[in-house]
Chain A
Amino acid sequence: MLRQLEGSKAVAETVARCRPAVVAAYPISPQTHIVEALADLVTAGELAPCEYLLVESEFGAMSACIGASAAGARAYTATASQGLLFMAEALPNASGLGLPIVMTVANRALGAPINIWNDHSDALSQRDAGWIQLFAASNQEAVDLHVQAFALAERLSLPVMVNMDGFVLTHAMEEVDVPEQAEVDEFLPAFAPAQWLTPDDPVTIGAMVGPTAFTEVKYLMARRQLQALDAVGAVAAEFRAAFGRDSGGLVRPYRTDDAEVVLVAMGSVLGSASDVVDDLRAEGVAVGLLGIGCYRPWPYDEVQAALAGVPRVVVVNRAIAVGAGSVLGRDIRLSLPQGATVVHDVVLGLGGRPVTREGLRGLVVDVLADRVPADTLHFGDLDREAVDRELAREPAGIETGDPR
């Protein structure tokens, strides 16, 4: 049933219907509305049995989830930005121990300078932590991805991070269909861990592994991630069969047939981007869009197939790898045959700067008019005057040119 709901509220209700046994969370903007709503549901007894731990930090939140999951309980937390970094030590621990924790990240920039608004630098900073990373394009998809995330996590014994853009999605009111309890119960069986901490069958979990076996453990982890590639698609297909709508999956190509140029992006910007594609297609410009739904594991084959034969690709990066360029753009480049496609690596929308329909349209137009450089990082919405003013104040002798 469609209801007018805030994204955070919709996600909280959905998570509750996934029946987590333990929720541990620490407040951080813009994740707060999710954990507040969940606290209400637990306090009111609408989510029972469930233990809600009001922890002292995000490190404590992830650690409590690790303990809960290892003890055989479905565990959930949510965070953003600095909070994700504060739990960074525990993230590869959760994945290394194979614990199917589900976490919402309300994507937000990393400081300094401190900034509470949306971009993807938090999640992308943890790209190698061994977590499956899904990105929601809308609040409906955010809702649906949480149901899929628990199924995926428990099927693979891997933790899953559901990314939804901070404020843009978390605080947006729009029509959302939150799956009914019975539907979720049907889709998501009770958590049946392969191994857990119990006196009935004492096991040692988290032993020290030295050079004799460490590589093999990591190999098996890498292999598990490849299995996850199959599982992400499979779970999305099952979801479509059960709920009758398309959500999730590895990639989402949109009107890429015969495209002269394809935009590639993740998250809520896909909404505006598809409007731009429709507008330009209506004007006879052959533009397409590729949405990345699963960032880790990285869907090499699907990306390559979706972009095969496309002469130009414009990657919309909502994060920057300072000193190296882009994050998403590099993965796109690595997925394409050498020299087959010109990749325009564009940084847009850092720290909450809006990525508008007009801005994206202008970008595509500029690319087609050869006004955007290829193979260098392009700051698509830079206030050049502000930068020049600051550069003029710098002492002479350290001139370096534009960052690449």
Chain B
Amino acid sequence: MTTTLYQIGTFAAGNRLLDPALRAVQSSTERGNAITSGHRACRGCGEALAARVVLDAASRATGGRMVTVNATGCLEVFSTPYPESAWQVPWLHSLFGNAAAVASGVAAALRATGRDDVRVVAQAGDGGTVDIGLGCLSGMFERNDDVLFVCYDNQGYMNTGVQRSGATPPAASTATTRAVGPSVGNPFGTGKSLPLIAMAHEIPYVATATVADLHDLEAKVVTAMSLHGARYLHVLVPCPLGWGSASAETIRVARLAVQSGLFPVFEARDGAVTATTAIRAQVPVEDYLRPQTRFDHLFRGDGRPDVVAALQERADRNIARFGLLEESEETP
């Protein structure tokens, strides 16, 4: 099998100019291909891309000694319409809100039966992580169970038709926070940061990443799999359907989320931030908002410059809080 690779930047997953040791798992034809082709994800799906990269990297990091647990959601639905399955790794789906607890049970079973060379990766969307799955996830964190939990955050309930979740950003128009009448969409002052909540559990490793930097995503998976205990990886995955972005723009939109400061990319160990990814070329939040129809109402007619300014303030707070414009402390 041959894989076509495109040269799109220094840190692109397929960059063969990098030192071989730093090359991405995805640059190799030997990659595991955890989710094989033929699944039913939408064109431009950020989650499908992230999940493949995460599981391929975890698979390589563990020498293939890995099992996965999946929450209900897009990823589960588009990958397993019976009698088909896109999964080439062992995969278990139980319910929407229990992926973390199921993964804890799997890890306990592996320990108790002397198979703890096999590692456990759990995955869920933002709904299954920050909302309905939070109880089980917090339990898994505080017990420090040996599980990597990955949240593919597309900022809403996309599988059920783009409703608001606790990860939906302010001002986003969703099916349950429509920007109709005087509404600016999802209200300001709501929502939560699961990476910060995870850090409050003082678990060994918390990291954020996006599909704009797959090399970074892979590196974080490898780091996570080099550690034991509860680990959390929060990956921003644009959803062309829910965000109203062009399917060819998924990577660019994710990059703009980072470069605007709206999505801070960092790593934390034992509850403290240890590395941040510096913004290489800062952009105003407007550059990130405009390609997404969920923010259309901010630019229609006279627009809502006040709301855009409020979102810029959020980005600026992130930049200050995580030092995103300072020299990068990122480890290669």
Contacts and interface: CB of A to CB of B under 8 A. Distances in A.
Interface of A: 21-22, 24, 49-51, 53-57, 59-61, 63-73, 75, 89-90, 93, 97, 197-199, 201-210, 212-213
B108 A68 contact: yes
A60 B103 contact: no
A51 B114 CA distance: 11
What are the 6 closest A-B residue pairs judged by CB atoms, nearest first?
A67-B105, A206-B93, A56-B139, A73-B109, A64-B105, A63-B101
Given A71-B110, A198-B118, A63 B102 contact: yes
Contact of B67 (A50, A51, A71, A75): A71
B41 interface: no
A51 B108 CA distance: 6
Given A197-B67, A208-B77, A64 B108 contact: yes
A199 B89 contact: yes
Contact of B114 (A22, A49, A204): A49
Contact of A72 (B81, B101, B109, B138): B109
Of the listed residues A64, A206, A213, the one surrounded by the most CB atoms of chain B closer than 10 A to its CB is A64
A69 B106 CA distance: 8
A20 to B, nearest CB: 9
A21 B139 contact: no
Interface in B84-139: 85, 87-95, 97-98, 101-115, 118, 135-136, 138-139
Contact of A207 (B80, B105, B114, B138): B80
Nearest to B65: A199
30 contacts: A24-B104, A49-B113, A50-B112, A51-B109, A51-B112, A53-B143, A63-B98, A63-B102, A64-B108, A66-B105, A67-B108, A68-B106, A70-B92, A71-B110, A72-B113, A73-B108, A73-B112, A90-B94, A93-B94, A197-B91, A198-B67, A198-B90, A199-B64, A199-B65, A205-B93, A206-B92, A207-B80, A208-B76, A208-B82, A210-B81
B24 interface: no
Contacts of B102: 63-64, 66-67, 70
Contacts, number: 168
B106 A70 contact: yes
A277 B54 CA distance: 67
Contact of B139 (A55, A89, A198, A208): A55
A204 B80 contact: yes
Contacts of B101: 24, 55, 59-61, 63-64, 67
Contact of A63 (B90, B95, B113): B95
B69 interface: yes
Interface of B: 64-67, 69-70, 76-77, 80-83, 85, 87-95, 97-98, 101-115, 118, 135-136, 138-139, 142-143, 145
B118 A60 contact: no
Contact of B91 (A54, A60, A205): A205
Contact of B136 (A51, A60, A70, A198): A60
A116 to B, nearest CB: 23
A199 B82 contact: no
B133 to A, nearest CB: 10
A46 B255 CA distance: 54
B91 A67 contact: no
Nearest to B81: A208
B135 A59 contact: yes
A59 B136 contact: yes
B105 A68 contact: yes
A26 to B, nearest CB: 10
A213 B83 contact: yes
Contacts of A49: 111-114
A62 to B, nearest CB: 8
Nearest to A205: B92
A204 B79 CA distance: 10
B138 to A, nearest CB: 7
Given A53-B143, A54-B143, A90-B98, 9 more contacts: A21-B108, A24-B108, A50-B112, A63-B98, A67-B69, A67-B101, A68-B105, A197-B91, A199-B118
Given A67-B102, A67-B104, A204-B85, A75 B135 contact: no
